[in-house]
Amino acid sequence: MRFLAVFSWLLSSCLIAAADGNSLEAQVHQGFTPGGYIRLRLSPGGYTIVAGSSDTIRVAYRVANEEQLKQVRVKILSSASSADVSISNTPHNHFKATIEVPPRSDLRVRMFAGEVVIAGVEGNKDVELDAGRIEIRIPNPQDYGQREASVRAGSIEAAAFDVSKGGLFRSFEQRGPGKYRLHAHVTTGEISLPGSR
């Protein structure tokens, strides 16, 4: 199965690079079935995860030069119902990427340091950072059954669930009517769960 996933990536994943002023933009994309489970392992940087095409995972990012373009590694390995997205060897100078996923996707995100913003994606969300900021926009709080967020040091501003906490070892846990699970954890930093905006 692993061989088939790698083979699929080699066949259908595509890297497109284009010059734009003093920077280079690159894209990697892979077909994927909507409603699946997507695991993302991300090197430090700033990432925006948004709803895109109904049948594609797409990663777009900018780098300063050809050397950085060769350095960054983006891999998307997919099977019928799950996908692994890894971004590694990112530059240290404010690397940013946009990741488009099918509008209905379950997400698991792990990153050491940086910022993750998730918007417009319906489904379960499991996001953890060692240091930095998580923002998950919640236009429909009632969609979530189990909701939990925690920081060891920092703040939780969850307007969607009427929660605001700051300091050491802060957390909240709620039960709601929805079918999705929301889990967010930052060891040191900030969690923001705003409503629709």
Q: What is the pLDDT of residue 6?
A: 36
- pTM, 2 dp: 0.89
Dist. CA 197–CA 185, nearest whole Å = 23
pLDDT of residue 196: 67
| pLDDT of 157 over the 70 cut | yes
Is 189 buried (19+), middle (13-18) or exposed (0-12) by CB count in 10 A?
A: buried
List, for residues 60-111, the tens digit of each pLDDT value.
999 988 889 899 999 999 998 999 999 999 998 789 999 999 999 999 999 9
147/152 Cα distance (integer angstroms): 17
Q: What is the mean pLDDT of the chain?
A: 89
**Strand residues in the chain grouped as ranges (E):** 14-20, 23-31, 37-42, 45-51, 56-63, 73-78, 82-88, 96-101, 106-119, 125-136, 144-158, 163-175, 180-192
The pLDDT assigned to 23 comes to 80
Give the pLDDT score at 117: 98
Q: What is residue 4's predicted lDDT score, i.e. its pLDDT? A: 35
The answer to whether 180 and 123 are in contact (CB under 8 A) is yes
Task: Please report the pLDDT score of residue 15 as a whole number.
Answer: 56
**Model pLDDT for residues 12-51, shown as the tens digit of each residue:** 444 555 555 568 899 999 999 889 999 999 999 999 999 9
